[in-house]
Structure 1
């Protein structure tokens, strides 16, 4: 009897977790669609959105693997519903950079679920996201963009120079455009997540 009860409880927990992952993935997809450029920071193909907030909420509540699942679901749903204007490069970048941000934050928060740990995790996640974003843009994403659209990488650098005259190389493009863009995104996402997480986590631990 006890084994049967345990199995039923486990099954219900799995179903609830899947439902919450789906719900948060859908919310992240909606937020991802509400993107907008920050023209004084980076060229317009870098779009700011707040889709990492549901991802972080899910990762804090259910662990980093759930966060990865939400991140993946968000990107897949976005591609299915809106297609891709970047030959899939932007979507891959969104997934990888999002995971670089979320996983460290969730792992630190999981060790001790306090506001201080959440703040430390989000700070580390932001630093890692900025670093990974710069490295990936320099060596993978911008060359892939260039190949996909058959344009030289220098054309992206010129777009950066139009925003900031100090941008005159790929290194400076990543340092002075990609880095600040991801830093602002990480800080804004962290601030909003810290404000709303506890309220939403109460709902997630209930009957949703």
Structure 2
């Protein structure tokens, strides 16, 4: 609660807090949407249809500042808007939302129970690890089966084989490539979050 809210009556303070959360969530959703367009491939490490982006960063900020529901909302809003410009028939947006929601919800829940810098570190690393583990099952059972409507499974596995000829099936591809990539992607967002969260915190929480 900001200093100004402490001087208000409880009802006014609650309304002010809700309004700040809504505005902050909307602002971070817009930033996350823009960041989705700044994606880039990681040649020789991942197939060309998998790209690196930092659009989970604003969602992680929202989860720390306002709670995990706000973080999930950022993940949802950015992907709903991005559907207007999708190049994957919505498959990429489904994957981005599901994995991002896992990441920021776990991070936010742990941080809520351990409200300290240490708690934020532990929560975000656990969140990144669980997101990476979840990516194996989300991709195998949801995302890639849908993706085969646009690209045959043989072609998908073939894209992985270009990098590592030893992979034989989708499960191996996901385990060897997607899981570590997703974990590293999450850790990148964690590092940037800790670099910028402290200076941004007064703005996000209305403590100016």
Please report the TM-score for the alignment, with normalisation by the length of structure 2. 0.91
CA distance in 2, matches of 1:121, 1:166: 35
100, 113, 116: which is aligned to 1:114?
A: 116
State the secondary structure of the residue aligned to 2:162: helix
CA distance in 1, matches of 2:143, 2:183: 18
32, 46, 55: which is aligned to 1:28?
A: 32
Please report the TM-score for the alignment, with normalisation by the length of structure 1. 0.91
1:43 aligned partner: 47
Whether contact under 8 Å (2:20, 2:205) holds in the other structure is no
Shift of 1:15: 1.5
2:172 aligned partner: 172
Q: Which moved more, 1:165-174 or 1:17-26?
A: 165-174
Give unpaired runs (5+ residues) of structure 2: 1-7
1:88 aligned partner: 90
- The runs of at least 4 consecutive aligned structure 1 residues that moved more than 4 Å come to none
CA distance in 2, matches of 1:31, 1:59: 17
Shift of 1:167: 1.8
Matches within 5 A, 1:47-66: 47-66=51-70
Shift of 1:112: 2.1
2:17 aligned partner: 13
Shift of 1:207: 6.2
CA distance in 2, matches of 1:196, 1:105: 17
1:160 aligned partner: 160
Whether contact under 8 Å (1:33, 1:78) holds in the other structure is no
Whether contact under 8 Å (1:166, 1:172) holds in the other structure is no
Shift of 1:100: 1.0
Give unpaired runs (5+ residues) of structure 1: none
1:144 aligned partner: 146
CA RMSD of the aligned region, Å? 1.6
Whether contact under 8 Å (2:64, 2:108) holds in the other structure is yes
2:192 aligned partner: 192
Shift of 1:70: 1.2
